[in-house]
Structure 1
Amino acid sequence: MAEEPDGRVAIVAGAGDGIGRACAIALARSGADVVVAARRPEPLRRLAADIADLTGRRVLDVPTDLADQDACRALVDTAAKELGRVDVVVNVATYNPAGRLEDLDPAEFRRAFEINVLGVLAVSRAALPYMRAVGGGSIVQISSEAPRAKLVNLGAYAATKGAMEVASGVLAKEVGPDGVRVNVVVAGYTDNAKLAAYMADIADRRGVPVTTVRDEMTKSSALRRLTRPEDIADVVAFLASAQARAITGTITPVTSGVSIGG
């Protein structure tokens, strides 16, 4: 089994709650010191305190607007300055404007692109010099089934997540010779507050109980279960680890079998 470098530092962008929170905790439990970033300071402070209590690892919380390119670079620079290095970046932050493409305000589409593509790339690119300095690193981007399902009312989200996946694959080829790995994890219907709100909206529009929508989503998966944030976090922690040293350029579904590739 490959050994992890001492004092690994992982940045989780979009770590306030849900998948981001689970990823930050999983990485700390794997032995990494963690930098958590999101726009709202309060959830970050609570998360940092929880990680420190649970794991004893060093934790730095950095409120960051991930639509701001300068702020993304400052996040990475702060992590390196305060904790000494950067080994892992996990990009969870996402913006999901609902609406049909013909009706969607272009400003909403633009913001989705700024966060889901440009923000992800800004954090990733800012980390590259620090990763090269320590001989390599791991970047893990979080995507969804939206680019494949092409759901009505989620066109901007699907388009920008698809662009992020393609850009991440190209980046994997570009930085592979430097020992930097880039992978994408596709999250399925993830049992969290965002999914609960989405199910409630569907139920309201259809005039059915929320439990009906939840049952339908559950039954759409081969495993007959919703994916939990911890399911995704465990895969992220693996891809960030030395055990995944030969894995790069992949798109890995963690969907409980919502879609089965062939």
Structure 2
Amino acid sequence: MAAEFDGLRAIVTGGASGIGAATASYLMERGCAVAVLDLAPASAPEGSVPITCDVGDTASVEAAVDEAVRALGGVDIVVNNAGIGAQGTVEDNDDDEWRRVFEVNVLGIVRVSRAALPHLRKSDHAAIVNTSSIAATAGLPQRALYSASKGAAYSLTLAMAADHVREGIRVNCVSPGTADTPWVARLLDKAPDPAAERAALNARQPHGRLVSAQEVAAAIAYLASPINGSTTGTSLPVDGGMNSLRLRPT
């Protein structure tokens, strides 16, 4: 199992912190060579190849993917994890903010995948894993823009899986619940009562706590693994049962 990814090469976007960093570390521990594409790659996990990349810009993405392919000698796995958050109802964000979030959360997946596909076609174990969210399938308050972008990421995953399955490229996504990431930590810091807000987020998930970045990383690795070569066109929830369980109140 330690060598599950031995000889494989991965690109992880947004890989310098949170879920992306946990994923990069998890893959490297299992034998994978990893290039981290991030706006601020200096904090990428030790042993990875740090590359500056803005997934909201096509030229930046194409240059970064080319650099990653040169550094790794090819690419077998793409983890489209880079994303940004947004709060509010449909009234609360202007058109520019909608465009900004979709540029990263949706078109970022498009740009990186498009640049990587010619290289993935050369791999015997090609896989793309996108990061969606519980917000794609469950109505959460004050998350209209974010939910729309992650719903698009989920639908895009299914369409990509259909387009590329006969090329031997598997495409899946993970759908985390509320995860203990730097973005959530910043939201908590802004809350009038951070402790109460954290308790509410914990209680919203049936297993009673935030999802860890390492748990999401393990799910991403499952979807990317050559061991799971028949898994494609699926969304793997990592949400403590939030999407599917309906517990009676305690």
The two structures have a TM-score, normalised by structure 2, of 0.91
CA deviation map 1:126-166 (0-9, x unaligned): 11111111234011111111222333432111111111111
1:261 CA drift (Å):
6.1
CA deviation map 1:160-208 (0-9, x unaligned): 111111111000011001111110101111112221222344x42xxxx
Paired position in structure 1 for 2:184: 195
1:76 CA drift (Å):
1.6
CA deviation map 1:188-244 (0-9, x unaligned): 11112221222344x42xxxx322222222222222222100000011111111121
Distance in 2 between the 1:6 and 1:146 partners? 34
Q: How does 1:14-93 map to 2 (within 5 A)?
A: 14-40=14-40, 44-48=41-45, 50=46, 52=47, 59-93=48-82
Paired position in structure 2 for 1:216: 200
Residue identity in the other structure for 1:213: E
Q: What is the DSSP-based 3-state SS (H/G/I as helix, E as strand, rest coil) of the residue aligned with 2:106?
A: helix
Pair 1:169-2:158 in alignment: yes
Given candidates 132, 140, 158, the residue that maps to 1:143 is: 132
Task: Check the 8 A contact 2:135/2:146 in 1, yes or no.
Answer: yes
Q: What is the DSSP-based 3-state SS (H/G/I as helix, E as strand, rest coil) of the residue aligned with 2:137?
A: helix
Paired position in structure 2 for 1:233: 217
Residue identity in the other structure for 2:13: A
Distance in 2 between the 1:92 and 1:6 partners? 22
Task: Check the 8 A contact 1:23/1:236 in 2, yes or no.
Answer: yes
CA deviation map 1:63-92 (0-9, x unaligned): 111100121122221111221110001011
CA deviation map 1:44-76 (0-9, x unaligned): 22324x2x2xxxxxx211111110012112222
Task: Check the 8 A contact 1:30/1:237 in 2, yes or no.
Answer: no
Task: Check the 8 A contact 1:76/1:123 in 2, yes or no.
Answer: yes
> Where does structure 1 lack aligned partners over 5 or more consecutive residues?
53-58
Distance in 2 between the 1:261 and 1:245 partners? 28
> Where does structure 2 lack aligned partners over 5 or more consecutive residues?
none
Paired position in structure 2 for 1:55: none
CA deviation map 1:20-67 (0-9, x unaligned): 110000011111100001112xxx22324x2x2xxxxxx211111110
Larger relative helix fraction? 1
Residue identity in the other structure for 2:36: V
Task: Check the 8 A contact 2:177/2:242 in 1, yes or no.
Answer: yes
The Cα RMSD (Å) is 1.9
Residue identity in the other structure for 2:152: A
The two structures have a TM-score, normalised by structure 1, of 0.87
Residue identity in the other structure for 1:237: A
Residue identity in the other structure for 1:244: N
| Identity of matched residues, % | 36
Task: Check the 8 A contact 2:5/2:225 in 1, yes or no.
Answer: no
Task: Check the 8 A contact 1:95/1:111 in 2, yes or no.
Answer: no
What number of residue pairs does the alignment pair up? 245
CA deviation map 1:88-147 (0-9, x unaligned): 010111122333322422111001111111111111121111111123401111111122
Distance in 2 between the 1:97 and 1:238 partners? 28
